[in-house]
Amino acid sequence: MMVSFATILGCLAMPWLAERLGRRGALGVYFTLMMIFIALTFGKVFYLGAKALPWMFVSLFFLGLGGANFAVYTLWLPEQYPRNAAPALSLFLLLSPALPVLELLFSSERVCGITARSELPSQ
C-alpha cells in the first residue's frame, strides 16, 4: 500500500518535474532515487532486525516514489517515432506484458496436446 501510494504521488509529480528538468532530468531523478533506496533498503535497513520496521516504511515510500519513472515514457516514447507509427507503438507497449500469456494460450495445443472445448460436458 505504501509503495502504491508513493508511486501515485510520483506520477502526479512527473509532469512538473519533466517541465522543470526535462524528460531526461526527470528520469535521472527517478532512477537516482531508486538506486539510492534499493541499496539503502536491501543493504542496510533489511539487516537492522527489530528496528527495521519504521525505516522499511520510509524506504518503501521512496522506492515507490522512484518507481514512477515509467510515467516519463508516456511523454518520451511517442516523440521518438514518426506520427503514423506512434499509435501502433503505444498499442504494442500496452499489450507487451500479455504477449507471453497469449503465446502460451494459443500454442498450448501444439506444445501440450491440450485442446479447448467449446461446450460443457453433458451430465
pLDDT tens readout for residues 64-110: 898 887 777 776 766 676 777 767 777 776 776 766 766 666 665 55
pLDDT attached to residue 84 = 75
Amino acid in the structure at residue 82: P
Q: Which three cell numbers stand for residue 24?
A: 531526461
pLDDT attached to residue 99 = 67
pTM reported for the whole predicted model: 0.62
In the predicted model, is pLDDT for residue 2 greater than 70?
A: yes
Side-chain-facing half-sphere of 43: CA atoms under 13 Å: 6
**Any idea which residue has 526535462 for its cell?**
22
What is the enclosing helix (H) or strand (E) of 78?
none
The residues spanned by each domain of the chain are 2-80, 82-113
Q: Which three cell numbers stand for residue 33?
A: 532515487
CA pair distance 123, 118, nearest whole angstrom: 16
**What pLDDT, in 10s, does the model give residues 27-49?**
889 889 999 999 999 999 989 98
CA pair distance 101, 117, nearest whole angstrom: 19
pLDDT attached to residue 110 = 55
Q: How confident is the model at residue 24 (pLDDT cuts 50, 70, 90)?
A: confident
pLDDT attached to residue 107 = 60
